[in-house]
Structure 1
Amino acid sequence: MAEFTEDSAGEHELISTSLELEQLDSKLFRSKSLWTPPRSRGVFGGQVISQALVAATRSVEKGFSIHVSQ
Structure 2
Amino acid sequence: MPPNEEAQGAWLLGRALEWQVTALEVALAAPLLAWRTGLALAGSWVAPVPAPPAAMPPAAAAPAAAAAEEVDHLA
Rg larger in structure: 2
More strand per residue = 1
Mark yes or no: TM-score above 0.5: no
Greater relative contact order structure (CA < 8 Å, 6+ sep): 1
More helix per residue = 2
**TM-score, length of structure 1 as denominator length:** 0.29
